Chains A and B, each alone.
Chain A
Amino acid sequence: MKRLIAQFSFVLMFVLAGAAYGAENQETAQSWQKQANDTRAAVMKVYGELEKIDVSQEPDAKGLIDDAVAQLTEGDKYLKQGDEAMAKEEWEKANAGYNMAWQYYVKAATAGLNAKRILTGQ
């Protein structure tokens, strides 16, 4: 579990580091799309593991995981908007959708890492 969480942090670090934005064109929209999807995948990987842990005795961690899920869900709404805009080649709208999705995924990461801190001390 700890290893997976550490891997998650490692992956997320590089995902965040790799952000590339610029003019709102197709290329940057694709970059944002990748950024949002990669970040989501990293968040989901650790969430899948956290889900297996009984956190009923850890209400603070549970609250943070719930918060992370809420942020993730909100991010997914924007990800869908981004995908729809992408399909219509509305690059500016796609950028906005993916950017916002990524913002929510970063919040999910913050909450998830705090939950990790409570559960593992690390």
Chain B
Amino acid sequence: MKGIKMLLALVPVFLLALAPLCLTSCKDSGSEKEAGKQQAADIEAPANVEEIAEARGLSPADVEAAVKTYIPSGKYDDYIMFASGGHSGQVLVVGVPSMRLLKLIAVFTPEPWQGYATGAKESGDLLKTGDMPVGKDGKLTWADTHHPALSETGGDYDGQFLFINDKANARVAVIDLRDFETKQLIKTPNIISNHGSTFVTPDTEYIIDTSQYAAPLPFSSFVPMDQYQKKYRGVLTMHKFDREKGRIDEARSFQIELPPYWQDLCDAGKKVSEGWLFCNSINTELATGGIEQGNPPFEAGVSARDMDYMHVVDWKKAVEVSEQAGKTNLISGIRVIPLETAVSEGILYFIPEPKSPHGVDVAPGGDYIVVSGKLDTHATIYGFDKIQNAIKQKLIEGNDIYGVPVLNYNDVVAAQLEIGLGPLHTQFDNEGNAYTSVFIESTLAKWKLGPPYNTGEDAWTLVDKIPVHYNIGHTVCAEGDTVAPDGKYCVALNKWSIDRFTPVGPLHPQNFQLIEVTGEKMKLLYDSPIGVGEPHYVQMIKADKLKPWLVYPEVGYDPATMAVNPDAAKAGGEKIVRGDGKVEVWMTAIRSHFNPEHISVNEGDQVVLHITSLERARDATHGFGIDGYNVNLSLEPGESQTVEFVADKAGVYPYYCTEFCSALHLEMMGYLLVEGKN
């Protein structure tokens, strides 16, 4: 307890020291304006804090961690994480350092609270655009969100857009960070699974998207497995992003045919390496499995070779080639650069990389590419200048079986560093350090980059490791994959939590562990259970870079078009129009009534509801649910939504506000009266 006493004694001093800093630097962060003008300098640690710590069995390190992560009511987090929601098909929005879950963003799956594809025509239509109307139920009902990517300007996060992929079905989504809503879903043509997706080029000109499990080109054509080498292919897709429209421009997107090596992860070059991109591959063995036939299972077959191939792609040249007549094939409506053209035009090169690589991460200056092989103990660091020199000097060790030139490994490696058992992914800070997740031994490793980041004897050395709990996959550090990382925090994205949380049945939550990285030694600050899916990867952005709307700019706004819907209901313009077999209703919602409150239709009528929230107050959200008709909308202030359905069930069906909006919320309802044919 002596340590706690000392620490608590220092709390007022700590706060006093911070006060002037906060009073100057917190003004723009939103902290002060929302904090009730609380003056940090006036705070004194209550005398009973020591007793509380003692009663709860908290160590000095626990108390320190609590002080560093606690965000008082009304104050805001410094950083926002966008985490993939894994199987939920959603994106999680989490504050740092509090680790509070702020929101789920519906992306690939229906989500009732946001009224996403649960009755609203706009989001229902959106979800259909990325659908594949085949398989069980004739539609997709889940997704496997993996890698979110924030839009960048000059290689730095700009806080405007977020992209994310659905590995299970090779889909890509665009989320607008003005309202944190999904705007576009693309089914990537020709491929059926994408893992190396999404990553952006430094000015978000393109969204990078690579296939993982190789398939015929296109995947929908049947080819037996014994023709794997000849007919199966990988594909790199460059989705052209139109920032002004906030949409992927499919007509200007293109693909590059690749060998069926199971492309894994990618990263775009930046600064000195801008114009290039780098992707891993894990199955240069061309293993095809078949354990049931006595063949080596994939896990053995795919890891048989010492080396796989990092793909080095000159994407700016690829853009030029994709626009030249006769250089592409049109497959499934998209231009595809054939593999032989990619080789002959100098678009694609291979570099050997240690076995079963996973992470490929470009350092902030774009000068190094860090690769970690999950069955190797090293991080292998390639120098971009060495790669360029090898390409120019044609320092190749030969060609792979598809004719792709393979650069000499020793000519392009800048360093190799012993990291530990099972290194995976690397992020960076603002002091020339790199942080690599280490799966098998469950640690986060901190190491020093070489010149120009570090020029002393400690360059390329491992400097610290911290245990994590357990089986870390990705890690994220504050803006840690940009040209200007922040340092301060990293988060270990642990796949297993085992004993970290109160048991809640056999299905355990994942564990996000917040780690402070400001000092020489990393410190574990907080465990945060994530119980909605496997949150595969995360982006962490400074909160003040985000400029979200608090309400929609005008009444009648349609989030799908980000403009006022000309068909939106207006105040005073509420009406019911009856046609032949169709009833169209213009309805408004405001605390605490809908107008109209009675809608009478005949069984079999097509019903169209245009509903507008007239609210202008922040957080005055209404819902609109119809009992028995499987409809629920979220009507945020100013928002307009449309519902279309056939009144195929006779009877009386209340509709009501599904958000507790006001004192008379329960009274905010109406009746849909469906008169039967008989």
A-to-B contact residues, CB < 8 Å: 9, 12-14, 16-17, 19-22, 24, 60, 64, 95-96, 99-100, 103, 106, 109-110, 113-114, 117-118, 121-122
Q: Given the complex of chains A and B, what is the CA–CA distance between A122 and B524 in angstroms?
A: 13
Q: Evaluate whether A20 and B418 lie within 8 angstroms (CB atoms) in the complex, with A114-B471, A117-B467 already known.
A: no
Q: Given the complex of chains A and B, what is the CA–CA distance between A9 and B377 in angstroms?
A: 12
Q: Which residues of A contact B499 (CB under 8 A)?
A: 60, 118
Extra contacts, 10 of them, besides A13-B377, A110-B439 (Cβ < 8 A), are A9-B441, A16-B377, A21-B304, A22-B306, A60-B499, A96-B296, A103-B303, A106-B440, A113-B442, A121-B467
Q: Which residues of B contact A20 (CB under 8 A)?
A: 306
The closest CB in chain A to the CB of B355 belongs to A19
Q: Given the complex of chains A and B, what is the CA–CA distance between A110 and B441 in angstroms?
A: 6
Q: Which residues of A contact B496 (CB under 8 A)?
A: 114
Q: State whether the Cβ of B421 lies closer than 8 Å to any Cβ in chain A.
A: yes
A60 & B306 in contact (Cβ 8 Å cutoff): no
B306 & A19 in contact (Cβ 8 Å cutoff): yes
Q: Given the complex of chains A and B, what is the CA–CA distance between A9 and B422 in angstroms?
A: 12
Q: How far is the CB of B261 from chain A (nearest CB, A)?
A: 16
A16 & B375 in contact (Cβ 8 Å cutoff): yes
The 6 A-B residue pairs with the shortest CB-CB distance in the complex, in nearest-first order: A60-B499, A99-B300, A17-B377, A96-B296, A114-B470, A110-B440
A103 & B299 in contact (Cβ 8 Å cutoff): yes
Q: Given the complex of chains A and B, what is the CA–CA distance between A122 and B303 in angstroms?
A: 29
Q: State whether the Cβ of B171 lies closer than 8 Å to any Cβ in chain A.
A: no
Q: Which residues of A contact B439 (CB under 8 A)?
A: 110
25 contacts between A and B (CB under 8 A): A9-B441, A12-B421, A13-B421, A16-B375, A19-B306, A19-B375, A19-B376, A21-B305, A22-B306, A99-B296, A99-B303, A99-B304, A100-B296, A100-B299, A103-B299, A103-B303, A106-B440, A109-B440, A114-B470, A114-B496, A114-B498, A117-B442, A117-B469, A118-B499, A121-B467
Q: Which residues of B contact A16 (CB under 8 A)?
A: 375-377, 421
A17 partner, pick from B303, B378, B467, beta carbons under 8 A? B378
A21 & B378 in contact (Cβ 8 Å cutoff): no
Q: How far is the CB of B134 from chain A (nearest CB, A)?
A: 34
Q: Given the complex of chains A and B, what is the CA–CA distance between A12 and B303 in angstroms?
A: 18
Q: Which residues of A contact B471 (CB under 8 A)?
A: 110, 114
B-to-A contact residues, CB < 8 Å: 296-297, 299-300, 303-306, 355, 375-378, 418, 420-422, 439-442, 467, 469-471, 496, 498-499
A113 & B300 in contact (Cβ 8 Å cutoff): no
B355, B420, B498 pick with most chain A CB within 10 angstroms: B498
The closest CB in chain A to the CB of B291 belongs to A100
Q: Which residues of A contact B306 (CB under 8 A)?
A: 19-22
Q: Which residues of B contact A21 (CB under 8 A)?
A: 304-306, 355
The closest CB in chain B to the CB of A18 belongs to B377
Q: Which residues of B contact A117 (CB under 8 A)?
A: 442, 467, 469-470
B467 partner, pick from A19, A95, A106, A122, beta carbons under 8 A? A122
The closest CB in chain B to the CB of A110 belongs to B440
The closest CB in chain B to the CB of A9 belongs to B441
Q: Given the complex of chains A and B, what is the CA–CA distance between A96 and B299 in angstroms?
A: 11
A17 & B441 in contact (Cβ 8 Å cutoff): no
Q: Which residues of A contact B377 (CB under 8 A)?
A: 13-14, 16-17
Q: Which residues of B contact A103 (CB under 8 A)?
A: 299-300, 303
Q: Which residues of A contact B375 (CB under 8 A)?
A: 16, 19, 106
Q: How far is the CB of A119 from chain B (nearest CB, A)?
A: 11
B297, B300, B471 pick with most chain A CB within 10 angstroms: B300
Q: How far is the CB of A92 from chain B (nearest CB, A)?
A: 9
Q: Which residues of A contact B440 (CB under 8 A)?
A: 106, 109-110, 113
Q: How far is the CB of A40 from chain B (nearest CB, A)?
A: 16
The closest CB in chain A to the CB of B498 belongs to A60
Q: Given the complex of chains A and B, what is the CA–CA distance between A82 and B447 in angstroms?
A: 39
Q: Given the complex of chains A and B, what is the CA–CA distance between A122 and B441 in angstroms?
A: 10
Q: Given the complex of chains A and B, what is the CA–CA distance between A122 and B466 in angstroms?
A: 9
Q: Which residues of B contact A121 (CB under 8 A)?
A: 467
Q: Which residues of A contact B422 (CB under 8 A)?
A: 110
The closest CB in chain A to the CB of B297 belongs to A100
Q: Given the complex of chains A and B, what is the CA–CA distance between A47 and B351 in angstroms?
A: 39
Q: Given the complex of chains A and B, what is the CA–CA distance between A14 and B378 in angstroms?
A: 11
Q: Given the complex of chains A and B, what is the CA–CA distance between A95 and B422 in angstroms?
A: 22
A114 & B442 in contact (Cβ 8 Å cutoff): yes
Q: How far is the CB of B413 from chain A (nearest CB, A)?
A: 16
A60, A117, A121 pick with most chain B CB within 10 angstroms: A117
The closest CB in chain B to the CB of A106 belongs to B440
B303, B376, B418 pick with most chain A CB within 10 angstroms: B303
